[in-house]
Structure 1
Amino acid sequence: MSQTAIGQDSINAALWAACDTLRGVVDPSTYKDYVLPMLFLKYVSDAWQDHCDTYKAQYGDANDLIEELLKTERFILPPGASFQALHAARFEPGNGERIDRALHAVEDANIAKLRDVFQSIGFNSSKLGDERQKNDILRHLLENFARPELDLRPSRLGELDLIGNAYEYLVSRFASSSGKTAGEFYTPPEVSRLMAQLMNPQQGDEICDPACGFGSLLLQCGRLIRERTGTRRYALFGQEAIGNTWALAKMNLFMHGEDNHRIEWGDTLRNPKLLTSDSGLRRFDVVVANPPFSLEKWGHEAAERDRFRRFARGVPPRTKGDYAFILHMVETMKPGSGRMAVIVPHGVLFRGAAEARIRRRLVEENLLDAVIGLPEKLFYSTGIPGAILVFRKSKADDEVLFIDASRGYEAGKTQNRMRAQDVRRVLDTYAARKPVNTYAHVATRAEIAANEFNLNLSRYVNAFENTVFIDNALLQEEREEFQRELADIDGQIAEHLAEMRP
């Protein structure tokens, strides 16, 4: 292949063009199930060939020696399982079956790193049409990935993380094009970076995301440590409930060179899998997450019997799992060094009943460190603004910092984006921990208690000087939340009355 100049934009454009093959055949939300595994296979195939060529140039025809050297590589590519072999056979029947066989062979040869990754990913699927149509679609997909722009050999890429960046680019485009469905497992990179920097991960840290999606928050934490130290002396942990998303997270971490990780497949709230040897919850230095907002069916029915006692501070509402994730994360912070950041909807800050009681306990135990309001339309899964809650196991004071960063963004046609200066202002304010007019306030525990433990930012940060301002959207959100709470209470009363009737 030619040593043409390479750039991130050309790789991104070639990858997005490959999606044209699937348009009109499958839903945009499932593009990722074909394009991202193909990107993975193309990368490992090009990297393997690059290593083979390097050894041949160094040792000539000493095939036995070269074969032994290849066994020491970070991964193994079995004979016949390469992208190049699939591309050469693309005009023959059975493309789907051949691709699936190749992926399973790669998994078997690297079982410690890729166990079960390709079990829920299938190219030989009727979703792509009958056998003839499917074979033709996959032939075009193989040809798209054979374009010179997608020559992904490490010797051509150099030190640039073009593969990881391309992977994240595709994920963001998939999230944008398929909206809520894809946005549930994707956190915008500027938000991921902000959360990682708030956590300030260090060498030797164990870092966990209990709702890890594609793994972007974990990768940002790891990247921050590498940039500061030049080492990979840290460990990444995660759990993801959706099988395909879990598999893509494993591939994502693999392509970023993150071998020191453990990502489990399963429901964190119903069945946490990151446990100690004596089956207790494993604890971490850093815990980060962007869990699904207000998950309705989160496992309320079993919460009171939770063997890990995660809900000792109170059982969250039946139809809102926000505090279920928060309480799980709080319980998985290490004593002393533990700190966490979680993205939540604003309702978490002010809703009453069970959530108010939980919120009060968290403040009284001096676990809550900061509340950071984010701009609206940052997330693909919802247009409402979110907030970052920061918790720490060991705090230097008993105050809570409130930051209203909701007006710091660059507006887009459909999505807004926090700029570098917006992120920097949040970080500088968090580090200084001092009041900033119309932007930040440091609240004492007594002040929060006087507000009945309501954490709504408008109660602490006066965002507009000398102006009476009413946030109609937020008021409407609060009104709808109160109506839903009232409906829940009415339902519970009706149940109790029914039980009391003879």
Structure 2
Amino acid sequence: MSDQINQDTINKALWNACDTFRGTISADTYKDFILTMLFLKYISDVWRDHYDNYQAEYGDEPELIEEMMKSERFVLPKQASFYTLWERRHEPGNGERIDQALHAIEEANGTKLKDAGKSVFQDITFNTDKLGDSKQKNDILRHLLEDFAKPELSLKPSRVGTLDVIGNAYEYLIKNFAASGGQKAGEFYTPPEVSDLIAELLDPQPGESICDPACGSGSLLMKCGRKVVANHGSKQYALYGQEAIGSTWSLAKMNMFLHGEDNHKIEWGDTIRNPKLLDKNGDLMLFDIVTANPPFSLDKWGHDSAESDKFSRFRRGIPPKTKGDYAFILHMIETLKPGTGRMGVVVPHGVLFRGSSEGKIRQQLIEENLLDAVIGLPEKLFYGTGIPAAILIFNKAKTEDTVLFIDASREFKSGKNQNQLSEDNISKIVETYRANTSVDKYAYVASLDEIKENDYNLNIPRYVDTFEEEEEIDLMAVRAEREQLKAQMVELETEMAKYLEELGYGA
């Protein structure tokens, strides 16, 4: 369709909309305003598109159409529509009206935008003094409404297609805010192609439960769910997640709502200090698939209370005080189902070889034969950090006494600031993992004895030899070429002297 919109157009329009706030409040604050307005605009466009379709089919029958709209997956009260707010943008009270609209949407949609009493929009208020006095605040929000009313931000389903508008826009904004905000290396979000890769590797099946204990905007979780739909034509799966940052939890809930992922449970809270995904007995819930891209080497992860952890997650050892990588790994291992549980986690390379308590934990996990594969990724894949990462695959149903090492660090599609994994790069990793065989200079199947001989060090170059021998230099050929060049130089000098003599510059 010629009217089809692409993500770049949406991203550019959103970045321009940020100009409304620049110089007034910090990027970290206005990010939430922009994304919440994007959510409101998107559901308003979906609602309006469906209304127009019914009108085209049934004619001008408002009562009939209103009745038909009651069967929609979500409810949008008329006074809560973006367009109602836009029409009244010149009146005082824009902030209050936007807050009321968000509250009305929550109330009209039951539990879809709430969890355990916490509402998605409770941490977001447009009627805030951070935007200045009443007049300045009203002007800023009028400009914001006008920005989102522009044609390039018409988000009708017919224009958007299958785009993950909120998730992709969130990642785009995070990337740009991180570039200018100097965020810590761990505070970034999983690029879509890395989510694709993990979902392919874990191969979720119909009827399985999928959990991300550090779920961010929920994109990795939803990718896993979509694999079940794509590969099996089934929506029989359940998504579970937990997110520590309130505004990001809100975004995950919005994202699930927009994608029709009604069979989900996303909790707000610190997974390590206060895991919320518990069964009726108060024990940790168990899942078929657990996956995450947790914060890298998180400082202050909860070391002080780890020894007395009531779930015994740290019985293999307590991770270092200033590096929480193994805290997330151990939590995830503990939530795997015994027969079917498999897990994919993104980690910094230090997890593969650091010693002390981490070395002891790593040794135990290897000796228990839980580790299935170590996959090295290219550098500059992740927003906010240039360091290369690795994916660890664990499997509770594993039978072979081996670990597959894949060095995919040199195969990527390079971009200006970020590298990307191409479809071919992803396919090669997945096919190699499924074949579970050694590939020269790319993959190696190591026995547990070999890993033990390496003192349980999982550093990939110890197993995958990517060294390329330099071609041997033929000194005799080089000498012959040099003699030939010398002879050519003599000929050229002689010819040059002849030309100079003809021109009257002879000796």
Q: Say which is worse superposed, 408-417 or 304-313, in terms of deviation.
A: 408-417
1:267 corresponds to: 270
1:90 corresponds to: 89
Matched, 1:331 2:334: yes
Aligned residues: 462
Matched, 1:299 2:297: no
2:468 corresponds to: 465
1:417 corresponds to: 420
Residue type of the alignment partner of 2:282: S
Q: Which residues of structure 2 form unaligned runs of 5+? A: 471-507
1:445 corresponds to: 448
**In structure 1, C-alpha distance between the alignment counterparts of 2:404 and 2:172, rounded to whole Å:** 31
- Asked whether the equivalents of residues 29 and 178 of structure 1 are also in contact (C-alpha less than 8 Å), the reply is no
Residue type of the alignment partner of 1:52: Y
Q: CA deviation at 1:383?
A: 1.9
The within-5 A match list for 1:103-118 is 103-115=102-114, 116-118=119-121
- Asked whether the equivalents of residues 409 and 422 of structure 1 are also in contact (C-alpha less than 8 Å), the reply is yes
1:487 corresponds to: none
1:227 corresponds to: 230
Is the alpha carbon distance of 1:152 and 1:413 closer, same or farther for their aligned partners in structure 2, counting shifts above 3 Å?
closer
* DSSP-derived class of the 2:397 partner: coil
1:176 corresponds to: 176
**In structure 1, C-alpha distance between the alignment counterparts of 2:411 and 2:343, rounded to whole Å:** 23
Moved beyond 6 Å, runs of 4+: none
Q: Larger C-alpha radius of gyration, 1 or 2?
A: 2
The within-5 A match list for 1:474-489 is none
- 1:360 pairs, out of 359, 363, 367, with 363
Q: Which residues of structure 1 form unaligned runs of 5+? A: 468-502
- Asked whether the equivalents of residues 283 and 311 of structure 2 are also in contact (C-alpha less than 8 Å), the reply is yes
Q: CA deviation at 1:68?
A: 3.8
1:497 corresponds to: none
Q: CA deviation at 1:316?
A: 1.1
Q: CA deviation at 1:356?
A: 0.8
* DSSP-derived class of the 1:80 partner: helix
Deviations 1:142-175 (A, max 9, x none): 1111122322233x337x213x246413422432
* DSSP-derived class of the 1:288 partner: strand
Is the alpha carbon distance of 1:28 and 1:103 closer, same or farther for their aligned partners in structure 2, counting shifts above 3 Å?
same
- Asked whether the equivalents of residues 172 and 186 of structure 1 are also in contact (C-alpha less than 8 Å), the reply is no
Deviations 1:294-333 (A, max 9, x none): 1111111111111111111111111111101000000111
1:473 corresponds to: none
- 2:3 pairs, out of 2, 5, 16, with 5
Q: CA deviation at 1:185?
A: 4.5
Matched, 1:44 2:49: no
Deviations 1:165-196 (A, max 9, x none): 46413422432332464972510111111111
**In structure 1, C-alpha distance between the alignment counterparts of 2:422 and 2:384, rounded to whole Å:** 20
Residue type of the alignment partner of 2:159: L
Deviations 1:439-494 (A, max 9, x none): 11111011111111111112111121347xxxxxxxxxxxxxxxxxxxxxxxxxxx
- Asked whether the equivalents of residues 349 and 389 of structure 2 are also in contact (C-alpha less than 8 Å), the reply is yes
Matched, 1:201 2:204: yes
Q: CA deviation at 1:59?
A: 4.8
* DSSP-derived class of the 1:401 partner: strand
- Asked whether the equivalents of residues 294 and 346 of structure 2 are also in contact (C-alpha less than 8 Å), the reply is yes
Residue type of the alignment partner of 2:394: F
1:125 corresponds to: 128
- Asked whether the equivalents of residues 185 and 245 of structure 1 are also in contact (C-alpha less than 8 Å), the reply is no
Is the alpha carbon distance of 1:381 and 1:12 closer, same or farther for their aligned partners in structure 2, counting shifts above 3 Å?
closer
Is the alpha carbon distance of 1:186 and 1:285 closer, same or farther for their aligned partners in structure 2, counting shifts above 3 Å?
same
- Asked whether the equivalents of residues 102 and 121 of structure 2 are also in contact (C-alpha less than 8 Å), the reply is yes
TM-score, structure 2 length as denominator?
0.87
Q: CA deviation at 1:289?
A: 0.3
**In structure 2, C-alpha distance between the alignment counterparts of 1:442 and 1:176, rounded to whole Å:** 39
Q: CA deviation at 1:63?
A: 4.9
Matched, 1:21 2:20: yes
* DSSP-derived class of the 1:400 partner: strand
Deviations 1:247-283 (A, max 9, x none): 0111112112212111100000011111111111111
- Asked whether the equivalents of residues 403 and 440 of structure 1 are also in contact (C-alpha less than 8 Å), the reply is yes
Deviations 1:376-434 (A, max 9, x none): 12122322211110000011301001111111123333322222222222112111111
Residue type of the alignment partner of 1:74: R
**In structure 1, C-alpha distance between the alignment counterparts of 2:447 and 2:437, rounded to whole Å:** 12
**In structure 2, C-alpha distance between the alignment counterparts of 1:238 and 1:314, rounded to whole Å:** 25
1:477 corresponds to: none
* DSSP-derived class of the 1:354 partner: helix
**In structure 2, C-alpha distance between the alignment counterparts of 1:371 and 1:12, rounded to whole Å:** 34
Matched, 1:287 2:290: yes
- Asked whether the equivalents of residues 186 and 216 of structure 1 are also in contact (C-alpha less than 8 Å), the reply is no
